[in-house]
Structure 1
Amino acid sequence: MKNTRVAVAIAVVAVTSLSACSDSSGDKKDGEAQAINRLEIIAPAAPGSGWDQASRATQEALRSAKLAKSPEVKNVPGASGTVALAQVAPQKGKEDLWIASGLAMMSGIISNGTNVTLDNLTPLARLMGEYEVIVTPKDSPYKSVEDLFKAIKDNPKSVSIAGGSAGSADHIYVGLLAKYYGVDPAEVNYVPYSGGGEATTAILGGKVQAGVSGLSEFSAQVIEGNLKGLYVSSLEPVEGVKFAETALDVSPTLEFQNWRSMMAPAGLDDATKDKYVDALKTMHGSANWKAALKKHAWNDNFIAGDEFATWLKEENTRVKEVLDQLGLSKK
């Protein structure tokens, strides 16, 4: 069936590709990497977003391991991260400037048809993977993700879903679920927000009927009982966070992981690039980073340097194919 083909395609993008080349046995011990004097990390989304959390976790882990002397995070939200990309990409050769990137930015480039792409950056490392979740207000009548999409199919305008920017990983996954339940993705009333904090406010305030985002953005509200965890895109239950269903309960082909990474401007000399990659490898082995992975329920899918660069090109091809199938591609 067409739905199954689409589900298999997106699963290859988001799951199989994450597990490939994930050996991090070359990580160095703390203190072996050369310290970075001053580092600015651009989080291409609003505070509270997945990119913001990844950027600040990186900031703290680098600082605590003395890998960067004064790392700072700057939020530049908008258009699936492509607003920030457009600011960083022209700064060719600029040192001590990183930008968080990932599936959302890659898909945003393709769906928005931007002039700058990830080819205008230097790949440093893929940091982690994260499952997508569907949540609703705690008093929502929907008891399953099937209930939610049945309501959308019956009356698309009656159900709005808050998520990240148009073309983001959130948007892709809603499109995948829509296809699975026989709903035209274009019929879904998807409301984009620049960060998880804004989306959470919209859900709690009753402005939308559901929300989609990375697990870390909604987990605290689900644990506290402010939001109902309807669905998580993992094959197993998530420790400490209750969801009504997992992907395994619906279909194993719906397993899905978003991913996030660190990039730098293009045009860096080899010594500078190696210094940054070594810092991230050392950070990955630090106690602080391991604690961040556990805190946010991130999956440890770390790869770095040339290995990450090779994977990135393969991932871009797969994401383009899926967005073409979902009718979201402009490039």
Structure 2
Amino acid sequence: MKITRIAVAAAVSVLALSACGTGGTSTGDKPAAGKKAEAINRLEIIAPAAPGSGWDQASRAVQDSLRSAKLAKSPEVKNVPGASGTVALAQVAPQKGKKDLWIASGLAMMSGVISNGTGVTLDDLTPLARLMGEYEVIVTPKDSPYKTTEDLFAAIKKNPKSVAIAGGSAGSADHIYIGLLAQHFGVNPTDVNYVPYSGGGEATTAILGGKVQAGVSGIGEFSAQIKEGKMNGLLVSSAQPVEGVEFAQTAADIDKSLEFQNWRSMMAPSGLDDAAKAGYIDALKRMHDSQGWKDTLAKNAWNDNFIAGDEFATWLKEENTRVKGVLDQLGLSKN
């Protein structure tokens, strides 16, 4: 599938978007001192993508961390893939006031809502917390002739159809970052042979099976394969090397403007009563402070960009305005 115009448009604003996702570890209003939160009895977490995807990994990390910190008794993850997360959004949003239901969200869902003109938006959810930021990575199979990002895009420039790149759904952070790289290397982004998959597991299979020549995803989806020598890490979208995972280049090695972060969050249906909303936010704050969550961040090379409650809700509106403004200017906004 060719790169769509939205990927090119979103790439123009990527610096502004990623900069707003790196604001530190503020947690907003703190829970009452000395008050122990009551464990959530039952919790369903919707991962709006297939197993192995970044959203799936984030959802299962929250599940494990809540359980290990005894903040939720029976958290379960359900995968509802499709259309940059908007299929899951359309299922959750109408369930106003429903308790014990969360949905993972993020940049891809926000851009998907704006570009697809969906009947529901992120305004139909209750913001709970932004969880983390994650760098994007470019990988190739272990025996690939492409050893650097320059090698890869030189081949694409010479014969675009000969180099297929596996990534997430159309309009996702993966898609956006490939568009940004294409522009940098003088390749028409619409010429890139981008192949979207509904989850990181499918993309990994395609890369290891030789069905595509390269892949793009969040660092957590390919880090194990890079460490095991099954894939080559060509590029990580950070300014500095990432501890524990080896890459041929960082974004700064090519151009600092290519630094990029995706972000993911947890939200709930709208119309929650105040007690339920406060309890969920408190549980996520306590999860964030737990050793289990800190270990998860380190294991997955995720950036601790946690904010919660009203602070997250305010940031989310600013982020949405910024994204929509760029897409409006380019005539790509339907919402």
Aligned position for 2:170: 166
SS in 1 for 2:166: strand
What's the CA shift for 1:111?
Answer: 2.7
1:194 aligns with 2:198: yes
- CA spacing shift, 1:295–1:126, aligned 2, 3 Å: same
Correspondence for 1:10: 14
- The counterpart of 1:19, out of the listed 17, 22, 44, is 22
Looking at structure 2, the residues matched to 23 and 120 of structure 1 have their Cα atoms a distance apart, in angstroms, of 25
1:121-150 deviation digits (Å, cap 9, x = unpaired): 100000000000000111111122122122
Q: 2:255 aligns with which of 242, 251, 258?
A: 251
The equivalent residue for 2:85 is 81
Deviation at residue 201 of structure 1 after TM alignment: 0.3
Structure 1 residue 271, shift from structure 2 partner = 1.5
Query: Would you say the 8 A contact 2:28–2:310 is kept in 1?
Result: no
Instruction: Indicate yes or no: 2:97 matched with 1:93.
Output: yes
- Quote how far apart the aligned CAs of 1:34 are: 2.6
**2:67 matches 1:63:** yes
CA distance, structure 2, for counterparts of residue 159 and residue 324 of structure 1: 32
In 2, Cα distance between equivalents of 1:281 and 1:308: 12
How far apart in 2 are the matches of 1:304 and 1:25?
6
Please say if 1:277 is aligned against 2:281. yes
User: 3-state SS of the aligned residue for 2:75?
Assistant: strand
Cα distance, 1:226 vs structure 2: 0.3
> Per the alignment, do residues 12 and 164 of structure 1 end up closer, same or farther by CA in structure 2, a change over 3 Å counting?
same
SS in 1 for 2:20: helix
Question: Does the aligned pair in 2 maintain the 1:130–1:259 contact within 8 Å?
Answer: yes
CA distance in 2, matches of 1:327, 1:158: 31
Q: CA deviation at 1:7?
A: 6.4
Q: State the AA in 1 paired with 2:133.
A: G
Do residues 241 (structure 1) and 245 (structure 2) align?
Answer: yes
Deviations along 1:218-269, whole A, 9 cap, x unmatched? 0000000000101000011111111110011011111111111000001111
Aligned-pair distance for 1:326?
7.9
- Counterpart of 2:39? 35
Counterpart residue type for residue 224 of structure 1: E
Which residue among 119, 124, 133 is the counterpart of 2:123?
A: 119
Q: How far does residue 322 in structure 1 lie from its aligned partner after superposition?
A: 4.8
TM-score scaled by structure 2?
Answer: 0.92
CA distance in 2: counterparts of 1:189 and 1:330, whole angstroms: 25
Q: Secondary structure at the match of 2:296?
A: helix
Of residues 113-122 and 16-25 in structure 1, the stretch that sits farther from structure 2 once superposed is 16-25
- Hey, what does 1:287 align to over in structure 2? 291
Amino acid at match of 2:171: G
**More deviation, 177-186/167-176:** 177-186
The letter of the residue matching 2:116 is N
State the alpha-carbon separation in 1 of the partners of residues 15 and 66 from structure 2: 32
Q: Structure 1 202/188 Cα, relative in aligned 2: closer, same or farther at 3 Å?
A: same
Alignment correspondent of 1:135: 139
How many Å apart are 1:113 and its aligned residue? 2.4
Instruction: Tell me which of 310, 321, 326 is aligned to 1:306.
Output: 310
CA distance in structure 1 between the aligned counterparts of 2:248 and 2:327, rounded to whole angstroms: 28
Secondary structure at 1:19's aligned position in 2?
coil
Q: Give 1:8 shift.
A: 7.1
Give the letter for the 1:17 counterpart.
C
Q: Aligned AA for 2:21? A: L
Quick one: structure 1 residues 323 and 219, their matched pair in 2 at CA, closer, same or farther if it must change by over 3 Å? farther
Paired AA for residue 34 in structure 1: E
Structure 1: which 5+ residue stretches go unaligned? none
Is 41-50 or 141-150 further displaced after alignment?
141-150
Instruction: Please say if residues 42 and 100 of structure 1, whose CA atoms lie closer than 8 Å, have aligned partners that are also in contact.
Output: yes
CA distance in 2, matches of 1:266, 1:25: 20
Distance 2:284 2:186 in 1: 43
Query: 1:30–1:290: structure 2 CA closer, same or farther, 3 Å change rule?
Result: farther
Say if 1:31 and 1:65, in contact at 8 Å, map to a contact too: no
Once residues 10 and 184 of structure 2 are traced to their aligned partners in structure 1, the CA distance between those partners, rounded to angstroms, is 8
SS at match of 2:247: coil
Equivalent in 216, 219, 222 of residue 212 of structure 1: 216
Give 1:33 deviation, angstroms.
Answer: 2.1
State the SS of the aligned residue for 1:316.
Answer: helix
Match of 1:52 among 52, 56, 81: 56
Structure 1 window deviating more from structure 2 (175-184 vs 251-260): it is 175-184
Structure 2: which 5+ runs fail to align? 1-8
1:110 deviates by: 2.1
Write the distance in 1 (CA, Å) between the matches of 2:35 and 2:219. Answer: 32
The one-letter code matched in structure 1 to 2:278 is D
CA shift in 2, pair 1:201/1:327, >3 Å: farther
